[in-house]
Chain A
Amino acid sequence: QGTRSACTSCESPTLAPQAERALVLELAKQQILEGLHLTSRPRIIHPPPQAALTRALRRLQPGIVAPGNGEEVISFATITDSSTSICSSMLTFHLSTVQSHHLYHARLWLHVLRTFPGTLHLRIFRWGPRRKHRGSRTLLAERQITTPGWHALTLPSSGLRGEESAVLKLQVNCRSLEGNKTITGPLRWLLDTTGHQQPFLELKIRVNEPEAGRAKRR
Chain B
Amino acid sequence: TPTCEPETPLCCRRDHYVDFQELGWRDWILQPEGYQLNYCSGQCPPHLAGSPGIAASFHSAVFSLLKANNPWPEGTSCCVPTARRPLSLLYLDHNGNVVKTDVPDMVVEACGCS
Interface residues of A (CB under 8 A from B): 5-7, 9-13, 21, 24-25, 27-29, 31-32, 35-36, 41-48, 53, 56-57, 60, 64-65, 70-76, 94-97, 166
Provide 15 A-B residue pairs closer than 8 Å at the C-beta atoms, listed in order of the A residue. A6-B75, A7-B76, A9-B11, A10-B78, A13-B41, A31-B106, A44-B94, A44-B96, A53-B30, A57-B30, A60-B100, A70-B101, A73-B99, A94-B96, A97-B97
* B58 within 8 A of partner (CB): no
CB of B83 closer than 8 Å to a CB of A:
no
B30 CB → nearest A CB, Å: 8
Please give the distance in Å from A100's CB to the nearest CB on chain B: 13
Q: Inside 8 A of A47's CB, which chain B residues have their CB?
A: 27, 92, 96
| Cβ-closest chain B residue relative to A72 | B100
B 29-54 to A, binary, CB cutoff 8 A, 1 in contact else 0: 11000010101111110000000000
CB distance from A103 to the nearest CB of B (A): 13
A4→B101 CA distance, assembly (Å): 40
Q: Contacts A24-B16, A28-B18, A47-B92 given: A42-B28 contact, CB under 8 Å?
A: yes
Main secondary structure of the interface of B (DSSP, over half): strand
- B76-110 residues with Cβ-Cβ distance < 8 A to A are 76-80, 87-104, 106
A41 and B25 contact, CB distance less than 8 A:
yes
Instruction: Give the distance to chain B from A1, nearest Cβ to Cβ, in Å.
Output: 14
User: Which listed residue (A5, A36, A94) contacts B97, Cβ 8 A?
Assistant: A94
Residue in A29, A32, A45, A71 whose beta carbon sits within 8 Å of that of B96 in the complex: A45
A35 to B89, CA, bound (A): 10
Residues of A within 8 A of B95 (CB): 75, 94-97, 166
Tell me the smallest distance from the CB of A205 to a CB of chain B, in Å: 9
What separation, in Å, do the CA atoms of A96 and B96 have in the docked complex?
11
A57, A60, A65 — most chain B CB neighbours (10 Å): A65
Of the residues B9, B30, B76, B96, contact of A6 by C-beta under 8 Å:
B76
Q: Are A44 and B28 in contact (CB under 8 A)?
A: yes
Q: Which residue of B lies closest to A53 (CB)?
A: B98
Does A71 contact B100, Cβ atoms closer than 8 Å? yes
